[in-house]
Amino acid sequence: MTRLTHLGGPTVLIELDGWRILTDPTFDPPGRTYAFGLGTSSTKVTGPALEAADLGGRPDVVLVSHDHHADNLDDAGRALLPTAATVITTRAGERRLRAQLPGQADLRGLRPGQRTSMTRAGLRDLQVLATPCRHGPPLSRPVAGPVIGFALTLGGREQVAVWMTGDTVLTRRLLHQADRLEVDILLAHLGSVQFPVTGRLRYSMNSHDAVRLVRRLRPRVTVPVHYEGWSHFAEPEAHLRTVFDSAPSGVGETLRWLQIGHTQDL
């Protein structure tokens, strides 16, 4: 059994066979507008359901899909990182965080396709595979920067316990990754991010992308996250629900909505 607590935005506490894993920590209060580069920005409109101090103990692992956008790592989230036993992020993010957090003992940077593992007495080993992301339209990487997702497995098993997609549009590379994974829980970053200055260009998956990914991947459970709490999301929960309700058989049945701030066993 896997236990998830959605704290808001991309931030989820995953309790997996004794491991405590926190994704993309964002704990700043609402109201602030953050710049993302080239005239893009977003305002945080909803605060976290829990403060970092209320998590019930330090995380064993913090997964940071990318460190350079405040909706995935904000100031309060950055302050939490030294409390974690291990922090895993992109290679570029590792370099930046190592300079900013010289006391962070175990900081690891991965490229898509690379793996790392952690051991802890009394628990099965935790393996983390970095999965590909493209945080925008073609040729946007020099602007949007590198991003990764994370596939978590235990004890050398083939099945992925949790796959966190990270902030990405749907690409062939992502679909090819899905073909190679057997996934129990898909933690899908959605919301169809858009900015007025870039028009109709999208920087994350929309609901139709999510349906295509689920049809390809066939996870047991699909959990939407990172679709709320910020002004740059173009697609609300109600639209996502409508699209999944009209999806081919077997897709909508996987969907599970987490009540923000509440813990759910999946």
96-107: pLDDT as tens digits: 999 998 888 899
DSSP state of 79: H
Is 151 within 8 Å of 129 (Cβ atoms)? yes
For residue 232, the model assigns a pLDDT of: 97
Q: What is the DSSP letter of 98?
A: H
| pLDDT for 242 | 94
Q: What is the mean pLDDT of residues 230-235?
A: 97
DSSP, res 117: E
- pLDDT at position 136 is 96
pLDDT tens digits for 138-162? 999 988 999 999 999 999 889 999 9
Query: What integer pLDDT is reported at residue 103 of this predicted model?
Result: 80
Q: What is the pLDDT of residue 99?
A: 94
State residue 131's pLDDT score.
Answer: 98
Q: Give the model's pLDDT for residue 3.
A: 98
Instruction: Assess whether pLDDT exceeds 90 at residue 217.
Output: yes
- pTM tops 0.85: yes
In angstroms, how far is CA 212 from the centroid of its own chain? Answer: 18
Percent of the chain at pLDDT > 90 equals: 92
Query: What is the structure's pLDDT at 250?
Result: 87
What's residue 143's pLDDT? 85
pLDDT classification of 238: cutoffs 50, 70, 90: very high
Length of the chain: 266
Backbone region of residue 131 per phi and psi (left: phi > 0; alpha: psi in -120 to 50; beta: other values): beta
**CATH number of this structure's domain 2-256:** 3.60.15.10
pLDDT value of position 102: 85
Q: How confident is the model at residue 24 (pLDDT cuts 50, 70, 90)?
A: very high
Structure tokens at 147: 């991003």
Q: What are the CA-CA distances from residue 182 to residues 134, 158, 216, 264 (Å)? A: 22, 7, 11, 22
Q: What is the pLDDT of residue 94?
A: 97
pLDDT of residue 177: 98
Run of H or E including 143: helix 141-144
Burial of 82 per CB tally in 10 Å (0-12, 13-18, 19+): middle
Token pair 């894993």: residue: 21
| Average pLDDT score over the chain | 96
Determine the pLDDT at residue 38. 86
Residue 6 has pLDDT above 90, yes or no: yes
Rounded distance, CA 263 to CA 266, Å?
Answer: 10
Residue 1, pLDDT score: 80
